[in-house]
Amino acid sequence: MKHADIIQTLDLEQKCALLSGGTVFDTRALPGKNVPSITLSDGPNGVRKQAGAADHLGLNPSVPATCFPTSATVANSWDPALGEAVGEAMGEEAAAQEVSVLLGPGLNIKRSPLCGRNFEYFSEDPYLAGKMAAGYVRGIQKNGIAACPKHFAVNSQELRRMASDSIVDERTLREIYLTGFEIVVKEAKPKTIMSSYNLINGTYANENAHLLKDILRKDWGFEGAVVTDWGGSNDHALGVKNGSTLEMPFPGDDSVRELMKAVESGKISEADVDARLDELLELVLDTKAAVEAAPRTFDADAHHALARRAAGESIVLLKNEGGILPLKAGEKVAVIGDFAKTPRYQGAGSSAVNSIKVDSFLDCLTESGLVSAGYAQGFERQGKANDTLKQEAVALAQNANVVLLCMGLDEIKESEGIDRSNMKLAQSQLDLLAAVAAVNPNVIVLLSAGSSLETEWLRDCKALVYGCLGGQAGAGALVDVLTGAVCPSGKLAETWVNGYDDSPVKDHFAGEGRTVQYREGLYVGYRYFETAGKPVAFPFGYGLSYTTFAYSGLKAAADGVTLTVTNTGRCAGAEIVQLYVAKPDAKIFRPAQELKGFAKVWLEAGESKTVTIPLDDKAFRYWNITTDGWEVEGGKYLIRVGASSDDICLTGEITVLGTGAPNPYQSVELPHYRTGEVTQVSDEEFAALLGRPIPEDKIKIDRNMTLGELGHGRSPLGWIVAAVLGQLLRRSIQRGKPDLNILFQYNMPLRALAKMTNGAISMGMVDGIVMEAQGFWIIGLLRVIVEAVKNIVLNAQMENRLKNS
């Protein structure tokens, strides 16, 4: 232990008190024992430090900071070094604001295009997500503070986010949902990691020994502190026993008593508490020193410029018919669309940054050399049809050579706390596009949206520029791409489907029940579409450029490849070279091909470069459920190198020595996992993949019943709470602005009342509420009252003791 000297001076109460937060974003201090408090702040695309009233949903104001493009955006750059630069700048701002732990990046897998938080995550592919996240973590931690990759793990939906149970087979868990975290932990050594809200195969992530002990700490060698998501602790003692260090936010002293009781009753040992405390003290002392030594200022202009560069390098050109882009200087353009004036540049929720300044597309255009024919709003942001706005826009479009149409998803469509209900742009925007295209064929759509969309309207535009959510300087980056100041080089980090119905998870995503079956197994995103042979709108890794590239001279070996890439066009640009591994004759089923390496190479016009892409221990491995380890199937592999998952330019063949492990599926019937047709998987087949029966999915009246589910209970009071919340939720959605508080409460389990009320509600009181919901109205109520009195008295006594320690 590193901090035995401090630990041995603490009594059990003091030790336990340090393992939960002191406020919404600060840890507890014990000044008499030389333990200071540190601050943790979001987030993934800029610092959200709240100087005044704090909340974990981005509701109250925070100190101004640079809003960088969201992770979904920077992922399209496929450039971990860019992620590192962004991370370093964010970390510098955090340290300047005396923040010790920056709560990001988020690297959950984009299992479904509808997950409301996809804008915060990198990719559907764990290799790309892991490499990008590792870049961010390295950058943040260069400042001596801690990064906190999140949400560990299998947390790919918002519905019932604090209480949904992800049912996933071990191989899929390891290969898809954990590999990104493995990369970030091993390659960037984050000082903390955030456990997710959800359960995994029946056990909360935060108290999951398999996840936190066996895998994170033992297999990957993680030595840092595990921090719960805010209110994500279910059984704090089990968390501490199984590897979770710090419960956040301030849960009240009841949580301290719970931990002490667990030690006293022998449920956990004091050694478990000491081990966690050692991790916490290391985090606190190490990062506190870094924060104290850091300058209190930073160069906001330089960070703005970096944000613009990051957005520019992440823009994906999805269509460019007839080479309409880049535009020539002096081109007369009409600017249409509400997003041109009021950009949509970040997502809603805990990641929302109070930006230092925000560029608008209209303002940036004035410096571009293009000639403006005027601006028209075109549509109402929240989707209400407005014929007058449409007609004004059509009239303006007739007056210009080119129409720059700024479309996108509005704020309610993408937010923490709520999944999208479809993948469509508002009908009013599509009607406008059609009307404008009817009078001016040169329509260029500039799209602001943090997740993929259906694009059946593509025929109505000549060019489609996908800016994703570009941060506070994103508008300027769009102008840079339009004029050719930046040659677009971004490529999609997620597949864009033709229609949501094509998604392999459509029948098993964010259902109403407690369990979510990850029935598609390994076949997430392109792994599904390519194996099952289904067409898509834009494949994974797709993106156009103003120049062209040729690939030649592939030399493939088991430890890496080299090849030559030549810029055969007329302008300088960057190409993202992607390497996929395939084994067409595999005995052990696997996706048709998987990303195992990539490189971004900058080339002047006419220039050639040799590109080297190493292959690491993850290139050929698969998780074998029989040997419970990583194995390699021996034999021939194809090394496929190309410009997207669907545009393979060179293929090499190599032979790899296998580990000789037995085929774990020898006698198991898994026909659809062999073909990739996973939308056809029956209950029996999924149970066979899981190796156990599919768990029952029943709403139970217990601590984990959500407030939204109280309607299923037996308490009239509960029915009223659920009905009122439901009504408020519907109203807030109709208003077009997400009410994150209502969303959070609707999906919040009863036990979180004891974790999110600053100590006002204890777990004993929650148990009274559960009894109430079970129909024991009088006993339940009495229990709540008795426990409330007990809680007030015990809290006061404990706070007094801790203050004087």
Catalytic positions are 229
CA atoms of 281 and 343, how far apart (whole Å): 42
> Pattern 206-235, binding to ligand BGC, x per CB under 6 A?
-----------------------xx-----
Q: How many Cα atoms are found within 13 Å in the side-chain-facing hemisphere of 698?
A: 6
Contact 753, 761 (CB under 8 A): yes
- Starting at the edge strand found earlier in the chain, the sheet holding 165-167 runs 203-204, 199-200, 165-167, 515-517
C-beta closer to ligand BGC: residue 590 or 755: 755
Q: Which of residues 527-556 bind ligand BGC (CB under 6 A)?
A: none
Q: Which of residues 333-352 bind ligand BGC (CB under 6 A)?
A: 350
The residue among 109, 480, 528, 498 whose CA lies nearest residue 312 is 480
Minimum CB separation of residue 86 from ligand BGC in Å reads 18
Contact 543, 493 (CB under 8 A): no
The enclosing H or E element of 371 equals: strand 371-376
Minimum CB separation of residue 44 from ligand BGC in Å reads 8
Contact 568, 550 (CB under 8 A): yes
Minimum CB separation of residue 446 from ligand BGC in Å reads 29
C-beta closer to ligand BGC: residue 228 or 503: 228
**Which residue type does 721 have?**
V
C-beta closer to ligand BGC: residue 62 or 483: 62
C-beta closer to ligand BGC: residue 249 or 490: 249
Minimum CB separation of residue 229 from ligand BGC in Å reads 5
Q: Which residues pair with 111 in a beta bridge?
A: none
C-beta closer to ligand BGC: residue 45 or 350: 350
CA atoms of 156 and 163, how far apart (whole Å): 13
CA distances from 22 to 25, 27, 40, 205, 379 (A): 8, 5, 11, 23, 47
Minimum CB separation of residue 48 from ligand BGC in Å reads 7
C-beta closer to ligand BGC: residue 229 or 419: 229
Minimum CB separation of residue 188 from ligand BGC in Å reads 18
* Tokens found for residue 706: 């959500």
- Number of Cβ within 10 Å of residue 658's Cβ equals 12
Q: Which of 15, 28, 49, 56 binds ligand BGC (CB under 6 A)?
A: 56
C-beta closer to ligand BGC: residue 56 or 420: 56
Secondary structure (H, E, C), 458-497? HHHCCEEEECCCCCCCHHHHHHHHHHCCCCCCCCCCCCEC
Q: Which of residues 692-721 bind ligand BGC (CB under 6 A)?
A: none
Q: Which of residues 591-630 bind ligand BGC (CB under 6 A)?
A: none
CA atoms of 588 and 631, how far apart (whole Å): 11
Minimum CB separation of residue 120 from ligand BGC in Å reads 8
Spatial CB neighbours of 31, under 8 Å, sequence gap ≥ 6:
none
CA triple 546-552-555, angle to 5 deg: 135
Q: Is the peptide bond before 658 cis (omega within 30 degrees of 0)?
A: no
Minimum CB separation of residue 755 from ligand BGC in Å reads 12
Minimum CB separation of residue 248 from ligand BGC in Å reads 7
C-beta closer to ligand BGC: residue 315 or 348: 348
C-beta closer to ligand BGC: residue 40 or 648: 40
Contact 379, 445 (CB under 8 A): no
| 42 is a site residue for ligand BGC (CB under 6 A) | yes
For 129-159, the DSSP string reads HHHHHHHHHHHHHTTTSEE--B-BS-----T
Spatial CB neighbours of 159, under 8 Å, sequence gap ≥ 6:
418, 419, 510, 511, 747
Minimum CB separation of residue 42 from ligand BGC in Å reads 5
Minimum CB separation of residue 225 from ligand BGC in Å reads 15
Q: Please identify which residue in the block is written with the tokens 């868990």.
A: 173
Binding residue count for ligand BGC, defined by CB under 6 A: 8
C-beta closer to ligand BGC: residue 45 or 679: 45
* Tokens found for residue 413: 């469509």
Buried b (16+ CB within 10 A) or exposed e, 456-490: ebeebbbbbbbbbbbbbbbbbbbbbbbbeebbbbb
Count the helices and strands in the chain (H runs, E runs).
23, 24
C-beta closer to ligand BGC: residue 415 or 715: 415
Q: Which of residues 86-125 bind ligand BGC (CB under 6 A)?
A: 103
The residue among 294, 274, 308 whose CA lies nearest residue 99 is 294
For 503-566, the DSSP string reads -TTGGGSS-SSSEEE-TTTT--THHHHHHHT---SB-TT--B-SS-EEEEEEEEETTEEEEEEE
Binding site for ligand BGC (CB under 6 A): 42-43, 56, 103, 150, 229-230, 350
